[in-house]
Copies of this chain bind each other. A is one copy, B any other.
Amino acid sequence: MSSTASDVSIQIKNLARKARAASIRMAGLSSATKNELLERMATALEQQRTTLQEQNDLDVRAARANNLAPAMIDRLILTDERIGAMAQGLREVAALPDPVGEVTGMWRRPNGIQVGRMRIPLGVIGIIFESRPNVTADAAGLCLKSGNAIILRGGSEAIHSNTAIGNILKAELEHMGLPAAALQVVGTTDRSAVNTLLECEEDIDLIIPRGGEGLIRFVSETSRIPVIKHYKGVCHTYVDTDADEEMASRICINAKVQRPGVCNAMETLLIHKDIADTFVPRIAMDMRQHGVELRGCSISCNLASGIKPATPEDWDAEYLDLILAVKVVEDMDEAIAHIEKHGSLHTEVIVTNSYANSQEFMRRVNSSVTMVNASSRFSDGSQFGLGAEIGISTSKLHSFGPMGLEDLTTRKFIVFGAGQVRA
């Protein structure tokens, strides 16, 4: 190991140890203190907009010099509006109920001891992310509000912006006499820093990677710390024989075109064979009017013009684009089998008027979000009423589906006795 790599390793381990110490203090803060902190952070971001934009400009100019794709550069720029949105995000999190201290249940045992479960912070949360610097403020707000310390490691292309946001926010911790180490932005762009972070299992309780599939796979294969992740969203809508065709079309169009580039957009449409004669031509026309390219099974290709034959890869594709795979199925069993084989455990929808089928679909499909008669685009923490979203999990441990403040906590057991001992 080069001396630089070992310097980075020492620096990261120190940072994690300080975060652990700070987390003990943060866990004990009152909601009022945490809310004041977030409000002050929001104001500071607005007031120090010029400083922030100067630092952001260093990243943007470097990105242009390095010929980054225009879309990447656009995501990097901290406009007045985006800084305003970060501040607003912090204020919204301040306004959310504090999950810490909630007793989710308490019961009395035959010997008289009372046993309950109380929500407490996880401790130290590491966020490893790419591009958009607003993640620094958004993730900090959620982790601090839930009483945790946070370590942020963003992409090297946003290092000046992330560091500047971190410094502005840390100053507010210090102004309030709170430990600045509760919020740390990794200041080095050395790649070995991530490897070291992922080894600090004594000092970091959870890693959340946010970015492309490559980053997420690397983090989850390397980390000794628990990771909550989702790779992709291959969301299905199944239109049942009993569906209201007008409703089905409305839901499908919304799920595909309202924002095609996100993980809760529909990628595959499954249609019951008994409704296919009328619904395939109808949805083909409706989708075409919205500029959607259809790729279908042989039956659907025969039922409407302009549908391209699908290849086997289409059934697994996350297009994130105005493209839709379409398949006619024998029955709901085939639809569910298709979802089990090709789905990503993200979000699946049935459109039906059959009570029995709605119940069966809900019982049998075990994706993180299962819906009846609604657009998959609702699969989102804000839409579900969780407040802001720290991410979405398609692995089942700890969290499954959109994650809000509650997912940044765990529950300890609490016991109130009167001197009982075990027989």
Q: What is the copy number of this chain in the assembly?
A: 2
**Given A374-B417, A418-B373, A422-B258, A410 contacting B383 (CB threshold 8 A):** no
| Contacting residues of chain A (204-237) with chain B, CB-CB under 8 angstroms | 205-206, 220-221, 224, 226, 228
Say whether B422 contacts A254, CB under 8 Å: yes
Say whether A378 contacts B412, CB under 8 Å: no
Q: Which residues of B contact A255 (CB under 8 A)?
A: 421
A28 — nearest CB in chain B belongs to which residue? B364
Name the segment of A7-15, A152-160, A243-251, A312-320 touching the other chain: A243-251
Q: Which residues of B contact A415 (CB under 8 A)?
A: 369-372, 374, 378-379
Does A95 interact with chain B (Cβ within 8 Å)? no
What's the minimum C-beta distance from A301 to chain B, rounded to whole angstroms? 27
**Given A419-B250, A420-B378, A422-B258, A402 contacting B397 (CB threshold 8 A):** no
Q: Which residues of B contact A123 (CB under 8 A)?
A: 396
Q: Which residues of B contact A28 (CB under 8 A)?
A: 363-364
A251 — nearest CB in chain B belongs to which residue? B421
Say whether A107 contacts B385, CB under 8 Å: yes
Say whether A412 contacts B374, CB under 8 Å: no
Q: Which residues of B contact A115 (CB under 8 A)?
A: 384-385
**Given A120-B366, A340-B24, A416-B373, A206 contacting B378 (CB threshold 8 A):** no
Q: Which of A251, A255, A358, A384 is the most central at the interface, judged by chain B CB atoms within 10 Å of its CB?
A: A384
Does A188 interact with chain B (Cβ within 8 Å)? no
Say whether B366 contacts A412, CB under 8 Å: yes
| Contacting residues of chain A (82-105) with chain B, CB-CB under 8 angstroms | 101
Contact partner of A397 (CB less than 8 A), chosen from B205, B251, B369, B420, is B205
Give 27 A-B contacts (CB < 8 Å), ordered by A residue: A24-B340, A27-B364, A107-B385, A109-B384, A118-B362, A120-B366, A201-B220, A205-B395, A206-B397, A220-B224, A358-B416, A366-B412, A369-B414, A369-B415, A371-B414, A371-B415, A372-B415, A373-B420, A374-B418, A374-B419, A375-B420, A375-B421, A377-B422, A378-B417, A378-B420, A379-B413, A400-B410
